[in-house]
Chains A and B, each alone.
Chain A
Amino acid sequence: MARKIKIPATKYPVERFTLDNGLRVVLTPDRSAPVVGVSVVYDVGIRSEPEGRTGFAHLFEHLMFQGSANLEKLAHFRHVQGAGGTFNGSTHLDYTDYYEVLPAGALERALFLEADRMRGPRLTEENLRNQVDVVKEEIRVNVLNRPYGGFPWLKLPPVIFETFPNAHDGYGSFADLESATVQDAQEFFDRYYACGNATLAVAGDFDVAQATVMIQRHFGDVPARPAPALPDFHEADLATEKRDVYTDRLAPLPAVASAWRVPDPIGDFTGYLPYVVLAEVLTDGDASRLVERLVQRDRTVTSVGGYLGFMGDEFQVRNPTALLLQAHMPPGGDADKVLRTIDEELDRLSTGGLAAGELERTQARIATHLLRDTDAVLGRALPMAVLELQRGRPELLNELPKLVGEVTEAQIVAAAAALRPDRRATVEVIPGAAA
C-alpha cells in the first residue's frame, strides 16, 4: 500500500449575518472564476405537507417560478437566462431550494428575483392548473413511464416509517395534485415561506461589502414573518424486520434495496458520520467490500450502491433518516441470498475489522468527492445555505473532508455491527417485463 496521502482542506471564507426581518445570510466569496451562485432555501419540505396534499411541497416549488409582484409569468426564467445564467429549484424531505448561477455582473439581478418572490408569488388558478399538468408529466417521466421509477427513494419510506410525514409519497398522487387549490398554496406560503424560515447564500466572485448593500437593498423590505415551530418527525426504530415486494411492469430484471435507521444527523453528528464512511467502505468502487463480494466474486448482483438519506443528501437531511443499500440483480436473482451475503459481510466487518489501508483510502476518495463538489459556486452556495438553515454552521462545508478523515476503525466497526437484519426495512422489485 502506498504512503498515506494527506487529506487537504478548503478555506472558503464565510461571512454570516441576519437582516432585521430575520433572513439569515451567508456570503462566501472566491474570485477564482467570474461567476456567482445564489441560493435561497426555505425550511419546509415533503415531510411538512398536510395529509390529502401529497406532493404539495414540490408543486408549490413550481408555483414559485410562475411570477411575483414585479414579474410576469415567464419573466423569472427570461431574466436569469437573459443574464447568461441558469436556474432551478428542488424539493427535499426537509427543505426546498431555489438557485441561480450567473456571470458575476448579474448578481444583483438574481437577488432582486429571489427577493421579489420571497415577498410573495403570483398564485393564480391558471398557473396552478398549468403546473399541475407539468408536474404530472414530471412524475410520468421519472416514475410511471420508466423501469425502476421511484426505486428506492419513494418505495422504502413507507416500509421503514409509520407516520404520514415520513412515509408518504413525496411526488404525490395525481388525485391529491389535481385537488390542490390556490388557497392551499396561499396558506402554504403564509405558513412556511416566511423570511425568518429561510436562508440566503451567495458564493463566488463578488465583494462582500457591495453584496451586503445589495442584499439589504432588495431583501431589507421583505416583511418580517416569524418561522413556524420546527416540527419533530422522530419515530421509533423498527422492532422487527420489515419487507415489501412489488411488481414493476416495466422492469426487466430484479432489484432489492434495504434501509437501516441511523443516528440523528444533526443532534448526533459524531454518531452519524461513521455511517457516511461505512456506506463508502461497502460500496465505493471495485475495491469496496460489497462490490468485491457481490459483483466480482459471487456475481449475485450487477451493481450495488450505498448512501445516506433517501435523496442522497447526506449532510442536508434531518432525523429520522437511514443508510440505504440498493442492488440490481441478474435474471433470476435471489434477493434473500443477496441480503444474507450483505449480513455476512457486515458480520465479517464488525468482527474482523478493516484491512490495512482500507479506511485511509476510503477517506481519501470521499475527500475528493467532497472537494470536487465545492469547486462549483453552486456546490458552495447550496450546501452552505442548508447548513446555515439546519445547523447555523455553513463553515462545516470546509471541515467535512477533515472530519471524515478523523472517523476511526472502531467507529466503522460499531456502525457495521448496528446494521442488524431485525432493524432492516427491505423492498424488492419483481420484474414484470422479464423476457
Chain B
Amino acid sequence: MSAHTIPDLIPDAKLKLPREAERTLPGGLTVIAIRRPAVPLVELRLRVPFGRAPLARATLLSQALFTGTGTMSSVQIAAELQAVGGGLSAGLDPDRLLVTGNALAGGLDRMLEILAAVLTDPAYPNEEVATERERLVDHIQVAQSQPAHLARTALLKRMYGRHPYAVQTPEPEQVRGVRPAQLRALHADRVRPDGSVLVLVGDITPEKAIDAAEKALGSWTGPGRDGNVPPTPKLVPGPLVLVDRPGAVQSSLRMALPALSRTDPDYAALQLANLVFGGYFSSRWVENIREDKGYTYGPHTSIEHFIAGSALIAAAEVATEVTGPSLLETLYELGRIASLPPGEEELEQARRYALGTLRLGMSTQAGLAGLASMYASFGLRLDHLREHAADLSSASREHVAEVAARYLAPSKAVTVVLGDAEKVEAPLAALTTVERGTA
C-alpha cells in the first residue's frame, strides 16, 4: 500500500487579481469593469440603494422593472436583449435593488442601451403591471407553503423585532393594493445613479467598457435618497419559538447568533470558528448530525451580511422524530466551540478551505461579478481579498477560540423551530423553554 499515500499539496501561487478599471460618472453612478476573457461573454450587475423602500411597492417594482419603456414593450425589451444573446432580470434585498444580466461580449453596448432605457424612461404600463402583480401574489402564496420560507420568516421576525429587516416578503394583500402610478413614483424617487454601482466582468477592455457605460448611462441623473437603515438591534436570547406545521415530516431548525462585519479585525477568526462549527461539510455539526447520527441531509451555517448588521445563521431540516435530539447535538456543538479551543489540524483544514474557496469564487466571470458587486455595496473592492486572505492566514488558535466564545455561545442564540408541534413540543421543552409563535 506504500504507493497509495495521500499526495502533498503544492502551495498556492500568490493571489492574482484581474485587471480592472473604475470611474464614477458625473451623475453619481460608479462603474467597475473587470477583465476575464475566458469566454466571449460579459456579466452585468447593478446595485441601486433601496433601503427602507416600501416593501410591497419595491418588490413589485423589481418584478416589473422590464415591463416597458417609452419606446419598447416588455416583449421588445426581451427580444432585443436576446438578439445579442442577452438577458436582464431584477431582484430585491433589504438594502438594494439588484439587476443581474449577461450577454455575448459583442452585445455589451446594446445591453447597456436597453438597461439605460429601462432606468431612465420606464413606463410601468397598466396591463403589464397588473400581470406582474398577480404573478407576484401567486409566487408569494407558493413561497408561504414552503417550509424554508416559513422558517426564515419566523426567524427574521424573532431576530429583528421592529427593525426594517424583520419583514422581507410582503403579504399578498399588500401587493394587490399597489398601483402602477406608485411604481412610477417609487422609480422616480429611488432608482437613481447616486450611490449605485455597476459592475461589468468578462471579455472586455475595462476602460472601453466604462466608456460604453458612460455613453449609455450618462443621461441617468438625479440625487439619491437617504436609504440608510438603522443598525440592527442586538439579538435578545429567549425561549425557543415553535411554529406549528401540522403533519410536517421534518422540522426546520433555525438559529441566529451574533456576527461581525467583513471589515472587523475579528472577522476572519469568526469565519474560521464558523467553519469549524458548521460552515462546511467537514465541520463538527455536519459530521455529527448527518454523518454520525443520520438526522438530516444538508445542515449548514453561514454568516449573512446586510448593510446595517451581520448575523450567523444555522439551518437544518431534521426528521420530526429526532427534532429534540438534533437540538441537543446542536447545543452541544455550540457549547464545545465556545468553551474549548479548536484542534490544530481542524483549524488548518478550515483555514485552507477558506483560502481555497476564495480562489474558486474568483475563477469565473459570474463569480467575479457577484463578488465585486457584493463587495462594492459594502464599500470594498476586490483588493480586499488580499487583506482578508492575510487575516485568514494569520488568525491564531487562541484568537479563533476567543472569538468563538464571544459569538458562538449557545446562550447567545435565538432559536426557531417550524414543525409538527404536537410531536416536537415536548422533546424540545425537555431541553429549553418553548413558546409558540407564527410564521
Contact = CB atoms under 8 A, between A and B. Distances in A.
A341 interface: no
Nearest to B4: A70
Interface string B48-86: 000000000000000000100000001111111111111
A296 B79 CA distance: 14
A360 interface: yes
Contacts of B86: 365, 368
Nearest to A330: B138
Given A5-B107, A70-B4, A108-B7, A35 B145 contact: no
B74 A82 contact: no
Interface size class of A (residues with CB under 8 A): 35 or more
Nearest to A78: B282
Interface in B1-40: 1, 3-13, 16, 36-40
Contacts of B364: 33, 375-376
Contact of A69 (B1, B83, B294): B1
B281 interface: yes
A284 B82 CA distance: 9
Contact of B297 (A2, A5, A134, A330): A134
Interface stretch (A160-168, A185-193, A285-293): A285-293
A140 B352 CA distance: 33
A295 B142 contact: no
A78 B12 contact: no
A377 B363 contact: yes
Contact of B84 (A5, A252, A303): A5
A85 interface: yes
A132 B297 CA distance: 11
A253 interface: yes
A133 B115 CA distance: 49
Interface stretch (A38-46, A144-152, A259-267): A144-152
A399 interface: no
A84 interface: yes
Interface string A67-88: 0011001100111011111110
Contacts of A287: 75-76, 78-79, 82
A294 to B, nearest CB: 11
B227 interface: no
B285 interface: no
B321 to A, nearest CB: 11
Given A5-B85, A375-B38, A292 B9 contact: no
Contact of B9 (A106, A129, A145, A147): A106
Nearest to B135: A302
B127 to A, nearest CB: 9
Contact of A368 (B41, B74, B367): B41
Interface string A212-230: 0000010001000000000
B356 A77 contact: no
A252 B145 contact: yes
Interface stretch (B98-106, B153-161, B256-264, B378-386): B98-106
A34 B317 contact: no
Task: Give the interface residue-count category, chain B.
Answer: 35 or more
A83 B141 contact: no
B39 A105 contact: no
Contacts of A6: 106
Contacts of B304: none
Contacts of B120: none
B74 A375 contact: no
A328 B177 CA distance: 23
A367 interface: yes
A79 B352 CA distance: 10
Interface in B359-385: 359-360, 362-367
B83 A368 contact: no
Contacts of B77: 286
A8 B107 CA distance: 12
Contacts of A52: none
Given A328-B138, A377-B363, A137 B250 contact: yes
B134 A74 contact: no
B357 A78 contact: no
Interface string A100-128: 01111110110110001000000000000
B208 interface: no
Contact of B104 (A77, A249, A364, A435): A364
Contact of A286 (B75, B85, B365): B75
A371 B248 CA distance: 42
B87 interface: yes
Given A8-B40, A83-B9, A145 B147 contact: yes
B6 A79 contact: yes
A107 to B, nearest CB: 8
Interface string B132-148: 00110011011011111
Contacts of A364: 82-85, 104, 107
A335 to B, nearest CB: 15
A367 B356 contact: no
A2 B80 contact: yes
A296 B74 contact: yes
B131 A84 contact: no
Given A82-B352, A137-B294, A292-B75, A367 B359 contact: no
Contacts of B139: 302
A368 B44 CA distance: 13
B238 to A, nearest CB: 27
B324 to A, nearest CB: 16
Given A69-B1, A81-B353, A145-B147, A285 B104 contact: no
Contacts of A16: none
Nearest to A431: B145
A239 B55 CA distance: 52
B100 to A, nearest CB: 12
B3 to A, nearest CB: 7
15 contacts: A5-B106, A73-B291, A77-B281, A77-B282, A82-B282, A87-B281, A111-B7, A130-B291, A134-B290, A217-B3, A252-B142, A253-B141, A285-B78, A285-B82, A286-B66
Interface of A: 1-2, 4-8, 10, 30, 32-35, 69-70, 73-74, 77-79, 81-87, 101-106, 108-109, 111-112, 116, 129-138, 140-141, 144-148, 217, 221, 249-253, 284-288, 292, 295-296, 299, 302-303, 328, 330-331, 357, 360-362, 364-365, 367-368, 371-372, 374-377, 433, 435
